[in-house]
Structure 1
Amino acid sequence: MKTQVKALVVGGGAVGTSIAYHLARAGWDDVMLLERDELTSGSTWHAAGLLPYFNMSYATTHIHDYSIRFYKTLEEETGLNAGFAVVGNLRMAQTDARMDEYMLYASTAETCGVPYQWMTPEEIKAKWPLIRTEDLKGALYHHTDGYINPADVTMAMAKGARQRGVMIERKWQVDAFHWNGTHWEVTATKMVEKGGNLIPSDEQITITAEYVVTASGNHAQRTAQMLGIKIPAIPVEHQFIVMDQDPELVKFRAEGNVEHPVIRDADAQSYVREERGGWILGVYEKHAPARFEYGVPDSFRADLFQLDLDRIEDQYMAMNHRIPSAEECGLKDDFNGPICYTPDGNPLVGPAPGLRNMWLAEGFSFGITAAGGTGYYLAQLMVEGEAEIDMASLDPKRYGDWMTTEFAARKNEEAYEHVYILHHPDEERPACRPLRTSPAYDRQAARGAQFGWVNGWERPNYYAPEGFDDHGARSFRRGGWWQYAVEEAKAIRETVGLIDATAFTKHLVRGPGATQFLDWFTCNKLPSVGRINLTYALTGHGTTRTEYTIVRLAQDEYYLVSAGAWTAYDADYLGKAIADKAPEFGYIECHDMTTQWGVFAIAGPKSRDVLNEIVKDADPATVLSNKRFPWLTMRNIELGMCPVRAIRVAYTGELGWELHHPIEMQNYLFDQLEKAGEKHGMKLVGARAQNWLRQEKSYRAFGNELGRDATPLEADLPRFIDLNKDFHGKDALQKTGVRSKCVTLLIDGPDDADPWGREALYHGDTRVGRLTSGGYSVAFGKSIGLGYVTPDLAVKGTKLKVKMLDQLWDAEIVEDSPYDPKNERIRVDG
């Protein structure tokens, strides 16, 4: 057994074997996989093996699509049949809202090239007469997927990995990780059978590895403890039952009919598929408990929990309603096993926080579906530095150190029961909330704030009258909240509005090496003291890793503001880059100031008037004038008794300021602003209106238009790139060129709906791109969106079509910043 390798994969389920296979296929010839028991002995062995395409995430859809295509090639390569039954996937809808969900998903699927077709209840009944259809609205049918044998596909990938030189060692448990400064030293103990249990022996080895990947499944909490990090991957009980033969089904198949597709009755929280003349029923019910919050017991191997039939009674009865002949079937077998989840249901794939060359592949609730694609794209990240798709939405650092075991367990239970809940784009899930609140939270709640969740923070989405039902207001069209967001957007365009932006990520970077480091780290010119610049930190491939507003406080002191959803993600990248470059540039400090500074953004034609009411200065009439406080500058001012770091920018494109203040003074400042704003008609404004307004200005958003799959040049932001200096990613940026280009579109869409930023774009009959943002424009009285198209079409006046609600709607590419393109309103003097 080798004790020195290039890459060590820990975990021998479907995900771990796929990673080992794909690392070897990508060219690494010294890869080892360790499994503490037998391959597939974790969640893999009792998985139902379904391969659903359906996912609202762009990255996850690509991952699932790769898996489905990849699994079909394994037999030819390895000689092993992976047990792929390409029967299709029939996703049925009982309500109009469910059909709306499927139409949004279908357009998203088109952007990834995923095939689908629509079926009416009559078409379903004609093809599969055992299914009751009179209460259905229709269905979405994926004919290219189905289900697979989890053990078989894992063994096929393992054989393929061995054929490519991967060493797979079973019955070795990893007990410690140690980073020696250049490599990982991994301590492993030989496990032996004793009385049906697996126990550690006295035999230990230390394996030195340049790279380590953990794919430890249900054992993720043990992995986290050994690494000294937090991993919000905790299993939840998942039940499915296998039924005896259904005589009607046996008769149907004997007549020469093909196997039923996987039948998904989303409104009944269940799926059904054929199994040897009978049926398998799997459910995603309420009150399924999290398990192993603090680690898997040593005695738990390929084991199951006791079945809780009472918990799934409603789903069982719903199956009998949907397939009446199933009511005559007896129970043949049952499974209740641990399936790992994360708070948002998406896996954790990418570099571990704070660690070098340590990669995580944890928290797979749909591990069989995701295994192939995860191995492929993670191997790209590790071998090439970036994947061909933006993997940021799956990055483990989307949860920061504020995350606790209790939070993860409760949110994972919620994610499980929400698998088949309607996934509204404006969905807000209630578990573990409120948790992170700014001081003004209670004041905002009292004024009707309906809160969204951003990296644990409560942030107002919009404000509504007392008694308003936020949950009931959600829709795939213009929900009940829409009218309030319209009024808020109009207030900023016509008078003045106040937005809570406290969730912004804030870092202080200073020291003798700070200027030289940031000049290398970001692609724009650094601002002079007292001024600000918008800039980007790039990946080694020249794509956008982070967007920053940089405020230069002093010669070697900088205040960096970035997106609130990405605090740990940005902190990790920034901190590792500083550690790498400090020996070259000199001493650099970096401090996360996010929880120390609150932020209010005030914007609108009357924003200066409001601030003039409370600003304290020897000449208060001029302190906010263009002469003393120009656009894109920072000044330390006093608003009443509150010291404020005021930045003259506005994400809405109107006259405005960001008011960064000591967070302990936030309520005082809020009261002062509210009182001063009353005479000027100031309105409290939420994130949804702000999102619409920034699209009228063509302001790109990180995670939407900006990400690791596009360069700033492709985002059409050359004005923020200084090609006269050297910066990280410059050569790759120039070499990549412009593969696609970001544009702004005005859309003549339906009267009751706007795009969400997940829709396909067409030129004639050809799909040419996708939207990355969408919403409503109060300035133009129609829908608006930002997205990417082929460069030849990225011209003002180009006519396109947007796929919404299963129809193509007229859209036109307009000039960048169609609202106030000369920025006259944002620069207005007073």
Structure 2
Amino acid sequence: MKTHVKALVVGGGAVGTSIAYHLAKRGWDTMLLERDELTSGSTWHAAGLLPYFNMSYATTHIHDYSIKFYKTLEDETGLNPGFYVVGNLRMAQTDARMDEYMLYASTAETVGVPYEWMTPQEIKERWPLVRTEDLKGAIYHPTDGYINPADVTQAMAKGARQFGAAIERKWQVDAYEWTGSEWRVTVTKMAEKGGNLVPTDEQTVITAEHVVTATGNHAQRTAQLLGLKIPAIPVEHQYIVTEPDPALVAWRKEGNPEHPVLRDADAKWYVREERGGWILGPYERNAPARFEYGCPDSFRADLFPLDLERIEEEYMSMIHRIPSSEEVGLKDDYNGPICYTPDGNPLLGPAPGLRNMWLAEGFSFGITAAGGAGHYLAQLMDDGEAEIDMASLDPRRYGDWMTTEYAARKNEEAYEHVYILHHPDEERPACRPLKTAPCYDRVKALGAQFGQVNGWERPNYFGPADAPDTFDHEARSFRRGGWWQYAADEARAIREGAGMIDATAFTKHVIKGPGATAFLDWFTSNRLPKVGRVNLTYALTTAGTVRTEYTILRRAEDAYYLVSAGAWQAYDQDFLIKAIEDKMAEFGPIYLADVTSQYGVFALAGPKSRDILAALVRDAEPGTALSNARFPWLSGRDVELMMCPAIALRVAYTGELGWELHHPMEMQNYLFDRLMEAGGPHGLRLVGARAQNWLRQEKSYRAFGTELGRDATPLEAGLDRFVDLSKDFHGKAAMEETGIRSKCATFLIDGPAYADPWGREALYDGDTRVGRLTSGGHSVAFGKSIGMGYVRPDLAVPGTRLKVRMLGDLWDAEVTEDCPYDPKNARIRVDA
């Protein structure tokens, strides 16, 4: 066995073998270790389905790559991966479900995934065994189907060996040690004993430049060995296999093709043919998490007892949908662990706090994602970035605040929600509230309907103060939901008067010290602000794309206050720590502190915001304290708001006159009460994140995670004014070399009166798909839908007329000038 490799992959399921394959294909000296046999984890009992359906742009790319890649394996390796391209029929019992499919379909179009619409009559004519009278329709994917998990894994393993990778079985990792330049991995030989797998006395040490963990059910053991929190915990998933169905056998004997994989999402199950019978796989309620603190060493290719009572409702609904299955007996049953994460997306990317350690854990749809996961992770490791933005899968999207209990309960919820309607305005309830700002009870009493950002409760909008707990759930829709008018009124309040937004969830860091200025000048793309001033700037990836957006207040010559997106606290902190470690010897001592939980934030905005704030400011010259002369736009200073000290930034994400008030968290309720009292005479209204999202699009303000990400440079995002090409900064050369592949633009959309875009829709020039929206919503200023997105550079010109796909139809979308609302920023700069 080799004792030194460039890449060591730990875990021999479908995901691990794909990663080994793709790294070896890129010429990396790669070895894969498996503690048992290949496929002995969840891979062996997976049903092998390959569903395209996913609401995520990045994950759709991953699934698309997998499906196409698997079709090439037999020619490359000589091994048949057992891919049955039977298609996938996803049925709908309700209009809301059809709306979901139409939103998904537009996302699929942005990736080029083929699909067809089918009516109930068309389904019945093509597959008469399926009952259709209570269906609204279906979406059909003709190019996917199902695959044999063991066969595709062995085919990828053979392909990996053909590219030079070594695969070693019956070796268990027992320790990881980072030496500063490579990993020392202690491994123990495993042996069969009485049906169990036990360690022997044989041990060795493997050194590796990079390590990838793809340990599946053993992710908690991996977490303990690495000293990390990895919220990948298995949940029980059961499926049953029936005896042959005489009606199905007769259907096939007549020469008819195999049924597609059938999905009745409203009934929460999938069904496919299996040797003349059916496989039923439900996603039922109350499936428990298992192995929260580690998978037992004795658990190998084992299963849990079947709990038929738990899936009785789903079983009966299968009989309803396929009546011929009623008299068919059960032949086999499976109840095995499948890893989940709190949001259902895998953890794919760099391990937080560690160098050259990569995680590939928590794959609830591991067979579907394995091929693409290996492909894009190999890009990330070899090229520095993948061609798609991998942030939504990044392991650093979760912070150390997350406990095992939280992860287990959220993973159970993610499992249960596989077939629950995926509203774009969905907020899942498990484990909430957890992280609350001090004003939580106050705003809740005033009608706040909350969303969750990095565990923080954040008002999305304000409904009626006496709303029942079910109000927000019932307000959700793929169209304009019950919350829409509340958000529109809030947006109008900021445009016409004043509104206050709880922005406490913002990520906040302090950077200071002798090396701080030189470091930040290298780290970010814009020139640094002068003392007392504020700049918007970007930290780039090694590929020259946008890694993070920062608002920077320069507090002193070598002291800075950084504000970034609330959802990415651990992600930003890990990036900063590693960058500072790399550059401190060059630039000098640098102090970094995460102060997110120390400061609450209220964003006060609107034409009357100065009048409200003036009532609280205590200053030698209170009449001029907030004037342009003493407090200009894009500046920040310490203020006293009666008895509350605060750092006030004159910035406004809404595009109106306004301030962000960063205040001691322990004084938040005091400040909240004073602001509400001062705002009363001016009609101050509490405003949520949804109205703010609409307002920032009227200003063409890009947002990290939508317009800004690791797949576009700041120049492609149209942020040239925040890039100082006269200086050298991290990622600059790669950014310039990349050029302009596509361009960000703002669109005013003449859409339907009942819906707005969500930021997932395809854009067309005639019949040609030319781009996609990344954000969407409603503009109160223009009285129509609005969106932002990327198109070919030649089309990102004001006046260009395109079409956007919404709810199955194409609607007019016109490229507008950047910052269509108040393009000269006169309202933001207005003086006292």
Q: Could you state the TM-score of these two structures normalised by the residue count of structure 2?
A: 0.99
Partner of 2:32: 33
CA–CA distance in 2 between the matches of 1:633 and 1:660? Answer: 13
Look up the equivalent residue of 2:288 and give its one-letter code.
P
CA–CA distance in 2 between the matches of 1:614 and 1:178? Answer: 55
Partner of 1:642: 644
Partner of 2:383: 384
SS of 1:487's equivalent in the other structure is helix
Partner of 1:98: 97
SS of 2:770's equivalent in the other structure is strand
Partner of 1:6: 6
Quote the offset at 1:328 in angstroms. 1.2
Question: How do residues 111-130 of structure 1 correspond to structure 2 at under 5 angstroms?
Answer: 111-130=110-129
Quote the offset at 1:619 in angstroms. 1.1
Partner of 1:19: 19
Question: How do residues 502-521 of structure 1 correspond to structure 2 at under 5 angstroms?
Answer: 502-521=504-523
Question: How do residues 236-385 of structure 1 correspond to structure 2 at under 5 angstroms?
Answer: 236-385=235-384
Partner of 2:660: 658
After superposition, give the CA deviation of every residue in 1:250-293 in whole Å (9 maximum; x if it has no partner).
Answer: 00000010000000000000000000000000000000000000
SS of 1:614's equivalent in the other structure is coil
SS of 1:45's equivalent in the other structure is helix
SS of 2:826's equivalent in the other structure is coil
CA–CA distance in 1 between the matches of 2:560 and 2:502? Answer: 23
CA–CA distance in 2 between the matches of 1:540 and 1:288? Answer: 42
Partner of 2:545: 543
2:572 aligns with one of 570, 588, 602: 570
SS of 1:826's equivalent in the other structure is helix
1:740 aligns with one of 737, 742, 765: 742
Look up the equivalent residue of 1:524 and give its one-letter code.
N
SS of 2:201's equivalent in the other structure is strand
Quote the offset at 1:467 in angstroms. 1.9
1:66 paired with 2:68, answer no
CA–CA distance in 2 between the matches of 1:635 and 1:46? Answer: 60
SS of 1:767's equivalent in the other structure is strand
CA–CA distance in 2 between the matches of 1:650 and 1:298? Answer: 55
Runs of 4+ in 1 over 2 A off after TM superposition: none
Quote the offset at 1:323 in angstroms. 0.1
Quote the offset at 1:298 in angstroms. 1.3
Look up the equivalent residue of 1:451 and give its one-letter code.
F
2:592 aligns with one of 583, 590, 593: 590
SS of 1:611's equivalent in the other structure is helix
What are structure 2's unaligned runs of at least 5 residues?
A: none
After superposition, give the CA deviation of every residue in 1:616-658 in whole Å (9 maximum; x if it has no partner).
Answer: 1111111000010000000111111000100000000000000
After superposition, give the CA deviation of every residue in 1:60-108 in whole Å (9 maximum; x if it has no partner).
Answer: 0000000000000000000000000000000000000000000000000
SS of 1:59's equivalent in the other structure is helix
What are structure 1's unaligned runs of at least 5 residues?
A: none
SS of 1:552's equivalent in the other structure is strand
Quote the offset at 1:49 in angstroms. 0.2
After superposition, give the CA deviation of every residue in 1:588-642 in whole Å (9 maximum; x if it has no partner).
Answer: 0110010001000000000000011111111111100001000000011111100
SS of 2:746's equivalent in the other structure is strand
1:180 paired with 2:182, answer no
Quote the offset at 1:695 in angstroms. 0.2
Look up the equivalent residue of 2:440 and give its one-letter code.
Y
Question: How do residues 429-578 of structure 1 correspond to structure 2 at under 5 angstroms?
Answer: 429-465=428-464, 466-468=466-468, 469-578=471-580
1:765 paired with 2:767, answer yes
Quote the offset at 1:741 in angstroms. 0.2
Quote the offset at 1:434 in angstroms. 0.2
CA–CA distance in 1 between the matches of 2:738 and 2:349? Answer: 23
Quote the offset at 1:27 in angstroms. 1.9
CA–CA distance in 1 between the matches of 2:157 and 2:357? Answer: 22
Quote the offset at 1:26 in angstroms. 1.4
Look up the equivalent residue of 2:182 and give its one-letter code.
H
Partner of 2:828: 826
CA–CA distance in 1 between the matches of 2:750 and 2:341? Answer: 38
Partner of 1:685: 687
1:728 paired with 2:730, answer yes
SS of 1:616's equivalent in the other structure is coil
Partner of 1:779: 781
CA–CA distance in 2 between the matches of 1:659 and 1:7? Answer: 48
- Say whether the 8 Å CA contact 2:14–2:152 is kept in structure 1: yes
CA–CA distance in 2 between the matches of 1:653 and 1:83? Answer: 56
CA–CA distance in 2 between the matches of 1:164 and 1:630? Answer: 61
Partner of 2:813: 811
Quote the offset at 1:416 in angstroms. 0.1
2:716 aligns with one of 703, 714, 717: 714
CA–CA distance in 2 between the matches of 1:621 and 1:560? Answer: 29
Partner of 1:44: 43
CA–CA distance in 1 between the matches of 2:32 and 2:27? Answer: 16
After superposition, give the CA deviation of every residue in 1:126-157 in whole Å (9 maximum; x if it has no partner).
Answer: 00000000000000000000000000000000
- Say whether the 8 Å CA contact 2:51–2:144 is kept in structure 1: yes
CA–CA distance in 1 between the matches of 2:180 and 2:717? Answer: 38
SS of 1:679's equivalent in the other structure is helix
Look up the equivalent residue of 2:130 and give its one-letter code.
I
CA–CA distance in 2 between the matches of 1:728 and 1:137? Answer: 53
SS of 1:769's equivalent in the other structure is strand
Partner of 2:139: 140
Look up the equivalent residue of 1:283 and give its one-letter code.
P
SS of 1:608's equivalent in the other structure is helix
CA–CA distance in 2 between the matches of 1:570 and 1:237? Answer: 34
Partner of 1:161: 160
After superposition, give the CA deviation of every residue in 1:520-540 in whole Å (9 maximum; x if it has no partner).
Answer: 000000000000100000011
CA–CA distance in 1 between the matches of 2:745 and 2:288? Answer: 46
Look up the equivalent residue of 1:202 and give its one-letter code.
D
Quote the offset at 1:299 in angstroms. 1.1
Look up the equivalent residue of 2:298 and give its one-letter code.
S
- Percent of matched pairs sharing the same residue: 79
CA–CA distance in 2 between the matches of 1:542 and 1:436? Answer: 34
After superposition, give the CA deviation of every residue in 1:345-396 in whole Å (9 maximum; x if it has no partner).
Answer: 0000000000000000000000000000000000000011110000000000
Quote the offset at 1:54 in angstroms. 0.2
Partner of 1:615: 617
- Say whether the 8 Å CA contact 2:57–2:111 is kept in structure 1: yes
Partner of 2:196: 197
Look up the equivalent residue of 1:109 and give its one-letter code.
A
- Say whether the 8 Å CA contact 2:27–2:163 is kept in structure 1: no
CA–CA distance in 1 between the matches of 2:300 and 2:541? Answer: 41
Partner of 2:628: 626
Look up the equivalent residue of 1:63 and give its one-letter code.
I
CA–CA distance in 2 between the matches of 1:329 and 1:27? Answer: 52
CA–CA distance in 2 between the matches of 1:476 and 1:625? Answer: 44
Q: Could you state the TM-score of these two structures normalised by the residue count of structure 1?
A: 1.00
CA–CA distance in 2 between the matches of 1:247 and 1:794? Answer: 59
CA–CA distance in 2 between the matches of 1:88 and 1:809? Answer: 30
Partner of 1:396: 395
